[in-house]
Amino acid sequence: MKKSYSYILDQLPYAHPFLFVDEILNAHDTGVDGSYTFKADADFYSGHFKNNPVTPGVILTECCAQIGLVCLGIYLMRKDEAEKTVGISMSSSEMDFLLPVFPGERVKVISELKYFRFQKLKCHVKMYNEQDKLVCKGILAGMMR
C-alpha cells in the first residue's frame, strides 16, 4: 500500500501557477523524493526561448527547492511539532544545470539531507528527466520557522 503524504502538500505555501510539486513519492528522516510535470502552456515558455521553449533554470531550481527543501522541512518539522504550520525561506542555492527540460516533461527530484540544526536545513538535490538522466543538481539551504 502506497503511503500518503498529502499532509505535506497541504502545508505548501504555494498555489498555481507557482506550485511545482505534483506528488511526494517518498519522505523519510534523510530525504524526500517527488515529481512534477511542467505544464506545456506555462506562461514562461512563451519567451524562453522564441520558437524553442525550455524551462528556465530559475524554475528548475524552484522545483528542486519546493520538493527537496520545503517538503523535507515540512516532514521534519511536523514530526517534532504536530499540526503546526511550517514556514521556510530559502537562504542559498548552488545549482549545476546539465540538460534542458521541455514543456510537458515530467521530472523527479531526489533530496538528501545534509544537516538540520538551529532551524537551518541544508540538502543535496538532484533532478532527473523521464529517461532517468540527470538534469541538474546542487545544494539548497533554508531557514525553518
Q: Of the residues 16, 28, 48, 124, which is catalytic?
A: 48
Report the distance separating Cα 111 and Cα 70, nearest Å.
Answer: 10
Q: Residue 83: is its pLDDT beyond 80?
A: no
Write down the pLDDT at residue 90.
72
Write down the pLDDT at residue 79.
61
Give the torsion sign (CA, 107, 113, 115, 121). Answer: positive
Write down the pLDDT at residue 144.
81
Write down the pLDDT at residue 89.
77
Write down the pLDDT at residue 81.
53
Q: For residue 86, what is its C-alpha cell?
A: 511550517
- Per DSSP, the residues of 62-112 read HHHIIIIIIIHHHHHHHHHSTT----EEEEEEEEEE-S---TT-EEEEEEE
Contact of 143 with 88, CB cutoff 8 Å:
yes
**Region of residue 38 (left: phi > 0; alpha: psi -120 to 50; beta: else):** beta
What residues have CB less than 8 Å from 128, skipping those under 6 apart? 107, 108, 109, 110, 134, 135
Domain range annotation of the chain:
6-144
pLDDT, one tens digit per residue, over 90-145 is 788 999 999 999 999 999 999 999 999 988 999 999 999 999 999 999 999 999 87
- Is there a catalytic annotation at residue 48? yes
In CATH terms, the fold of domain 6-144 is Thiol Ester Dehydrase; Chain A (3.10.129)
Whole-number average pLDDT of the chain: 91
Helix (H, G, I), strand (E, B) or coil at 9: helix
Write down the pLDDT at residue 80.
54
Residues 53-71 have a mean pLDDT of 97
